[in-house]
């Protein structure tokens, strides 16, 4: 399966600031996905990032709040803008590997705490 | 609608067997996944079922019944390190997946 690296792994952020999370994959992939997992909750898809086009956002998530870049087939960034305590969450980058099925594999996650 | 249900929490004893159930409702079906997530870590892939029946993989097995919209994860010879959340997930459209809220398993000595 693909090896997915994320950074930062953890950060404490001030309210009103923005933070960019980086995701690097060890192989070329068409689609990359960004998930959020709020405390005690399950995973929610934020957006799908396809190289060469704008990201596709899920209901409840907007580009102004979560701008995404996908400059090439192995890298993506997610920015959490104008953070509030409600944005305290785990942010996970993931890819589909197709082995087996369309299995999703996750990066190590970025734990953000907004104070 | 599309939905996944799992028990919130389970407790079992080291060395025992535990079964974690998952029921799902989807408009189509393209497989079911189980993930393990230790506290403070990202989910890791455990198993994938697309046909009815039991898939065995060491101490972990996963069962699927498509007609009943039901799956379970069976953990044998429980170890303390198996204390984690177990997430059930199904694809929901192209490149989309629905995840259950997870079952938090506590293994007691």
Provide the residue-wise pLDDT of chain B in tens; the chain has 109 residues.
Answer: 678 999 999 999 999 999 999 999 988 888 999 999 999 889 999 999 999 999 998 999 999 999 999 999 999 999 999 999 999 999 887 778 889 999 999 999 9
Contact B41 A108 (CB under 8 A): yes
Give the containing element (helix H, strand E) for B15.
Answer: none
> Where are the strands (E) in B1-109, listed by range?
3-5, 9-13, 18-25, 32-37, 44-49, 53-57, 60-65, 70-75, 84-91, 97-99, 103-108
Nearest to B102 by CA among B41, B17, B31: B41
Q: Which residues of B touch A44 (CB under 8 A)?
A: 99
- Give B87→chain A minimum CA distance, Å: 8
Percentage of chain A surpassing pLDDT 70?
99
Following CA atoms B46, B99, B97, B30 in sequence, which dihedral angle do they give, to the nearest 10 degrees? 60
Q: Would you call A43 and B96 a contact, using CB atoms and an 8 Å cutoff?
A: no
Structure tokens at A106: 């996750």
- Reported as a single tens digit per residue, the pLDDT across A64-111 is 999 999 999 999 999 999 999 999 999 999 998 777 777 889 999 999
Tokens of B78: 């429980």
Separation of alpha carbons A49 and A52, rounded Å: 9
Mutation test of the interface with chain B: which of A4, A103, A105, choosing the one with the most B Cβ atoms within 10 A?
A: A103
């Amino acid at each position: 399966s693909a090896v997915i690296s994320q950074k930062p792994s953890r950060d404490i952020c001030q309210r009103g600031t923005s933070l960019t999370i980086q995701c690097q994959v060890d192989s070329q992939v068409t689609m990359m996905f960004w998930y959020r997992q709020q405390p005690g909750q399950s995973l929610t898809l934020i957006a799908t990032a396809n190289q060469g086009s704008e990201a596709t956002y899920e209901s409840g998530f907007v580009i102004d709040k979560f701008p995404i870049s996908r400059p090439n087939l192995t890298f993506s960034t997610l920015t959490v803008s104008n953070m509030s305590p409600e944005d305290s969450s785990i942010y996970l980058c993931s890819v589909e590997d197709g082995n087996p099925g369309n299995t999703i594999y996750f990066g190590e996650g970025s734990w953000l705490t907004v104070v | 609608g599309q939905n996944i249900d799992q028990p919130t929490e389970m407790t079992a004893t080291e060395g025992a067997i535990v079964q974690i159930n998952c029921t799902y409702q989807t408009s189509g079906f393209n497989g079911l996944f189980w993930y393990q997530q230790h506290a403070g870590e990202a989910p890791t892939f455990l198993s994938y079922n697309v046909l009815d029946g039991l898939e065995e993989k060491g101490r972990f097995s996963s069962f699927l019944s498509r007609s009943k919209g039901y799956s379970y994860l069976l953990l044998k010879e429980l170890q303390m390190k198996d204390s984690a959340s177990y997430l059930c997930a199904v694809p929901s459209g192209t490149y989309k997946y629905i995840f259950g809220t997870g079952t938090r398993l506590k293994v007691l000595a």
